Amino acid sequence: MKAVVHTGYHTFPSLKEVDKPTPGPGEVLLKVAGAGACHSDVAIFHEFDEGLNPQMDPEFVLGHENSGWIEELGPGVEGFEIGSAHLVYGPVGCGRCRACTRGQDTYCENAAEMPYAGIGLGRDGGMAEYLVVPARNLVPLGDADPIDAAPLADAALTPYHAIKLALPKLNGGGKSVLVIGLGGLGMIGVQILKALTGATIIATDMKEEAMAEAEKLGAVTVPGGEGQVERIREATGGKGADVVLDFVGVGATVKTAMQSVARQGRVSIVGIGNLSPYEWAFLTTPYEAELVNTYWGTVEELHEVVDMYKAGQIVPQVTRYSLDDALEAYQALVDGKIAGRAVIVPHQ
């Protein structure tokens, strides 16, 4: 079968012929419905150096944001209907530790002993005609469209997890939240905030079209550049944003985030752009402002995200590409030309 393969660090991926996988015990074979192209893949093939994370060493099939139809059940798997549509929870932990048994494979206590970091992250992913996943990683979609649903597995789950953890900071009325970066994750982040909170949503991106789209979703926007922090503070009545979600995470945006946050607020860094240290100083940091990073989410939260999708509260903005055009999708992502999410659709 055809697949998009990560072949080496600092190397653009290749479209190659690979063996169709066979489900082992406890696994299922999926016919891939959709596979989202996430900016983390760009980090993996363009920015990561050898030795940074051996669990993601090439070669493997990319694609950690997947949906599909059940094609075949591996030994010992029961209770799934052949042909039914499912979303794939991408993190794969040991399945036995405290973190895994509460559905949080991202923080598996035995992660160091796993041969890979996740599906499409060391283990073969969904940028292919077929995909094998553990049955416990499946979240049913019912009759919801599985292709537009693919981004839920990361572009919705990751902001949802970050937002849920920050919700206590948005209690009490008169609150505001700043969203930095309105790509695949950030645009869905705005939708989740709109559905879950009454906070004023302030959004920013380098792309004007992305800001116009965020305004349609109910955000007020502030362009980047000089005076940005002052404008953000003004939009919050001078006190700063109670929550900042940074979906870029480069040095400049982390700085903007820390300058824009309110006293006792929370900055959640989701973008993995900053691989160098951030300088922190006591007197210029608002008192009790928290700075955290977050990683993906739990399988329980993925069920919640599916409910929001079915309720029309999350509507991923999707551009579909065939598997033959998958490399064009990645190139467009590298070039900053994707609005919302590019989803690879292997079976037209």
The binding site for ligand NAD (CB under 6 A) comprises 38-40, 43, 154, 158, 180-186, 204-207, 210, 224, 247-250, 252-253, 270-273, 294-296, 333, 336, 338
Binds Zn ion by CB under 5 A, chosen from 94, 167, 250, 332? 94
Residue nearest to ligand NAD (CB): 183
Q: Which is nearer to Zn ion, 110 or 322 (CB)?
A: 110
CA 105/CA 94 separation, integer angstroms? 8
Where does residue 142 fall: left (phi above 0), alpha (psi -120 to 50 degrees), or beta otherwise? Answer: left
Q: Which is nearer to ligand NAD, 185 or 244 (CB)?
A: 185
Q: Which is nearer to ligand NAD, 186 or 316 (CB)?
A: 186
Rounded (5°) CA angle 50-55-60 = 85
- 3-class state of residue 241 by DSSP: strand
Q: Give how many residues touch Zn ion by CB under 5 A.
A: 6
Q: Which of residues 148-207 bind Zn ion (CB under 5 A)?
A: none
Backbone angles phi, psi at 102, to 5 degrees: -100, 15
Helices (H), the chain: 39-42, 98-101, 146-149, 157-166, 184-196, 208-216, 228-235, 251-260, 299-310, 326-334
Helices (H), 113-250: 146-149, 157-166, 184-196, 208-216, 228-235
For residue 93, state whether it binds Zn ion (rule: CB under 5 A).
yes
Q: Which is nearer to ligand NAD, 61 or 157 (CB)?
A: 157
DSSP assignment of 170-200: GTTSS-EEEEE--SHHHHHHHHHHHHH--SE
For residue 92, state whether it binds Zn ion (rule: CB under 5 A).
no
Q: Which is nearer to ligand NAD, 39 or 86 (CB)?
A: 39
Q: Smallest gap, in angstroms, from Cβ of residue 81 to ligand NAD?
A: 30
Q: Could you say which of ligand NAD, Zn ion, none residue 100 binds, taking C-beta under 5 to 8 angstroms by partner kind?
A: Zn ion
Q: Smallest gap, in angstroms, from Cβ of residue 106 to ligand NAD?
A: 8
Q: Which is nearer to Zn ion, 88 or 202 (CB)?
A: 88
Q: Smallest gap, in angstroms, from Cβ of residue 25 to Zn ion?
A: 18
For residue 192, give Cα distances in angstroms to 116, 188, 210, 312, 318: 30, 6, 16, 11, 17
Question: Which residues contribute to the site for Zn ion (CB under 5 A)?
Answer: 93-94, 97, 100, 108, 110
